[in-house]
Amino acid sequence: MLMFGRRWDPWNELEGFGSHMRRIQDEMNTLLSRFDTRPSGEFPSLNVWTKDDEAVITTELPDIEPKNIDITVSGNTFTVKGTQGTPEPGGNESYHRRERWNGNFSRSLDLTFTVDTDKVTANFKKGVLYVTLPRHEAEKPRKISISA
């Protein structure tokens, strides 16, 4: 009895269809946008830019004093370390939200070439760190001329 009790109403069904499509579209958009970035799940996230003989690594480190950022490069490994502390609440204080990074961080990345460590430069602007890593001279491709 119950199975046949409700009449199928095609118009009613159509009404819900529009919002359904929109939801699918929204979901597809968020799914696709993820292909754009490849989060590592580590802090901080790094973007790497390359040109013929050098690479630039950029990373967002808001609220960190440049002197508290520790950058080391050895061989082809780049490491950035530091601490970002948010103050602990005192007696009469309490956090309603605490979403920002709190604590130490260390992040390494292997490059595809050996870095000339003497020529590494770093810049810090508006909470964004830029590190330029030139390729080591000895590793650069060399044209060999054939002598007659």
Residue 75 or 89: the one with the smaller Cβ distance to other proteins is: 89
Residue of 71, 68, 63 lying closest to 46 (CA atoms): 71
Residue 77 or 86: the one with the smaller Cβ distance to other proteins is: 86
Report, in Å, the least distance between residue 144 CB and other proteins.
27
Residue 116 or 133: the one with the smaller Cβ distance to other proteins is: 133
Report, in Å, the least distance between residue 6 CB and other proteins.
32
User: Distance between CA 59 and CA 62 in Å, rounded?
Assistant: 9
User: Distance between CA 65 and CA 57 in Å, rounded?
Assistant: 18
Binding region for other proteins (CB under 8 A):
33, 36-43, 45-51, 55-56, 58-65, 86-87, 89-90, 92-105, 124-128, 130
Pair of tokens at residue 72: 């080391």
Report, in Å, the least distance between residue 51 CB and other proteins.
5
Residue 7 or 96: the one with the smaller Cβ distance to other proteins is: 96
Q: Which residues contact 44 (CB under 8 A, 6 or more apart)?
A: 59, 60, 61, 80, 101, 105, 107
User: Distance between CA 75 and CA 110 in Å, rounded?
Assistant: 9
Report, in Å, the least distance between residue 11 CB and other proteins.
25
